[in-house]
Amino acid sequence: MSNPVFSRKGGGIPTAPAQGGYATWNTAPTQSPYGAPPPYGGQPQQYGTTAPTQYMTLDDVVVRTAATVGTVIATAAAVMVMVPTETAIGWALPAALIGLVLGLVISIKQITNPAAILAYAAVEGVFLGGISKLFESLYSGIVLQAVIGTFGVFAGMLVVYKTGAIRVTPKFTKWLLGALIGVVALIVVNLVAGFFVDGGLGLRDGGPLAIIFSLVVIGIAALTFLLDFDMVDQAIRRGAPQRFAWYAAFGLVVGLVWLYLEILRLLSYFRD
């Protein structure tokens, strides 16, 4: 639902190793003991350590994000091609549960193992493939529209961040996290109400209120990318180890999956 990785602005970013190559985890900006590394891969010399530390760069994040997103797309495409429409939901539901558990474990333990991150991406791909198969069978061409919309919003938010049109401040972060909590609460209440009243609160029935709610959710999901980009910048400035790029890629993929699903839902409302 919300991005569990970057919900705490600046928290949990590993800094450069202190002694003997062991990383320290702080919640406030720090400097590497021997100077912050250059932003694109330069490594300050360390004394008294067994091996030089590989620091995370922007290129590392781009490459690992591309690999993770590519895994999601490839797996989803395979499911859409090979799985019949009538069994698509049977693939999507188990994958959704497995992905939720795996995503929470990666987020809580801040796992940077590439095998775990790519496994999560593959499971999410199965989930998205099954859901996309169902929507495509009902609304021809909707999946391509949702994919274009998702990456369009992502690119737009990257431009917004780079130009400084919206600055990631503590006040902005608190407001956005509050909005996330509110959206999740409304989704849960609507789901529970649906068991007693047809359509629940009307937030997901395709009516005018549902369209407005989806637009709000898409807006909040888009704004969370600003926290993601800010986290990456902070990690590079603090001299985070190279393996942290996998964790950053995981966070970005979580946001992309959420945004895609919401855009897919909104497009289906307009088709109806």
Give the tokens for residue 2.
């919300």
Residue 25 covered by a domain: no
Mean residue pLDDT of the chain comes to 83
User: Is the Cβ–Cβ distance between 92 and 131 less than 8 Å?
Assistant: yes
| Per-residue model confidence as pLDDT tens digits over 260-270 | 999 999 999 99
Query: Given a cut of 50, is residue 17 above it in pLDDT?
Result: no
C-alpha 112/C-alpha 62 separation (Å) is 15
Total domain count, the chain = 1
Q: Phi-psi bin for 96: left (phi > 0), alpha (psi -120 to 50), beta?
A: alpha
Residue 38 covered by a domain: no
Which is higher by pLDDT, 51 or 146? 146
Query: Given a cut of 50, is residue 147 above it in pLDDT?
Result: yes
Query: Given a cut of 70, is residue 39 above it in pLDDT?
Result: no
Give the tokens for residue 126.
């199965």
Q: 251: burial class by Cβ within 10 Å (0-12, 13-18, 19+)?
A: buried
Residue 258 covered by a domain: yes
> Pseudo-torsion of CA 160, 164, 165, 168, nearest 10°?
90
Residue 10 covered by a domain: no
Residue 265 covered by a domain: yes
Query: Given a cut of 50, is residue 32 above it in pLDDT?
Result: no
Q: What is the pTM of this model?
A: 0.79
User: What does the pLDDT average to over 3-30?
Assistant: 45
Q: Residue 231 belongs to what domain range?
A: 55-271
| Per-residue model confidence as pLDDT tens digits over 98-141 | 999 999 999 999 899 999 999 999 999 999 999 999 999 999 99
Residue 4 covered by a domain: no
User: What does the pLDDT average to over 178-184?
Assistant: 91
| Per-residue model confidence as pLDDT tens digits over 152-174 | 999 999 999 999 899 999 999 99
